[in-house]
Copies of this chain bind each other. A is one copy, B any other.
């Protein structure tokens, strides 16, 4: 941090802001969140104008899909503001006595939830992450450093400017929300190595960004991640449930991390089930004018239904598309083993009416979320009742699954004595 780049200066002022917001209390935080939401709506025109600049510059530089993610509309701005208000409505995760005990020597030991301090979020082109991340950080008592993608910089700056004016209205330091102005790779690397300034780093984005953070970070980093999610159709499955869950898990939103990528089918039902799977995902969808799913079939399944022959990489690919790899397994154990070797530990589901098999599956599968007879698409902060989220953790340290406000806190031990010595 010696050369004092703009990012280093930001880290310093963020760190200094931690104490200024540490004792403001949930009431004032919520007041600030409402003012931030109002300010975003009041600044709608300037935010849209800034977004227009970003969109123009991005034309021909990034894909149409990415440009769509980048684009703001009146509705999207309102929904950003509503998202902030929804976060304000959540109960505070701070100051909760997680445990309390009195030791034989009379010491009272309390374990109390507290903010992390400074949270840095490195993300890509969606401007709504700017408001979500800032609001989640503030609600959990944290100062945030936002490092968005360069394509969205003008949009993010306009949103942050509005949010800062909201903070100012209730007398909270504007340094509680910080936007990195340097959008080159240098600033991301600087944040990854800002030991002593950044208490928690959360990368949100593609596999390349996550890998760069894991490789280069010296600050504690919460890996959010890719999802190669599996649905295993057991021999004791209810076939209608299986078909509806797989169609939902695969096609309701193929581009997200909780979409299913692989279907494992028990050999005992493969002959009857696979033709129905093809009918549901391919033929029926085509007939209804929906995008049919491209099935990538293992050696055994291709003998039963038509489709592309899967290559081995297909079972290690997050397609994020209307593509499903299909594999016949000879037992629940083989399904569990396949998942152990190929899963990214995000979400997996078993479809079965057999309680014993279900129990074995959930105890053996090592993923953040393991489902019995439900779609993997439910792995989401909102669906879990946590409010909006900072991402889905696929590592096991600190937090697993959806990162809500509680997952942005830590704890401290407060020990009250009367002169005790050891």
Interface of A toward B, CB cutoff 8 Å: 18-19, 22-23, 101, 103, 107, 109, 114, 116-117, 195, 199-200, 214-215, 218, 220, 222-223, 238, 240-241, 244-245, 247-249, 252, 336, 340, 358, 362-364, 366-375, 377-379, 383-385, 395-398, 400-401, 410-422
Contacts and interface: CB of A to CB of B under 8 A. Distances in A.
Given A19-B340, A117-B366, A397-B397, A415 B374 contact: yes
Given A109-B385, A220-B396, 17 more contacts: A19-B336, A103-B383, A103-B384, A116-B397, A199-B396, A199-B397, A200-B397, A214-B218, A241-B418, A245-B421, A373-B416, A375-B422, A377-B421, A377-B422, A384-B413, A397-B397, A401-B413
**Residue among A200, A252, A362, A419 with the highest chain B CB neighbour number at 10 A:** A419
Given A364-B22, A396-B199, A374 B413 contact: no
Contacts of A248: 421-422
Given A103-B383, A396-B220, A375 B421 contact: yes
Interface of A is mostly: mixed
A215 B219 CA distance: 9
Contacts of A245: 419, 421
Contact of A378 (B379, B384, B422): B422
Contacts of A223: 220
Ranked nearest first, the 6 interchain pairs of A and B with the lowest CB-CB distance are: A374-B417, A248-B421, A220-B397, A241-B419, A398-B398, A396-B410
A415 B363 contact: no
A114 to B, nearest CB: 8
Contacts of A249: 421
Nearest to A249: B421
Contacts of A107: 374, 378
A369 to B, nearest CB: 4
Contacts of A220: 223, 395-397
14 contacts: A23-B363, A109-B384, A114-B366, A117-B366, A214-B218, A220-B395, A241-B419, A244-B419, A369-B412, A370-B415, A373-B416, A378-B422, A396-B410, A400-B411
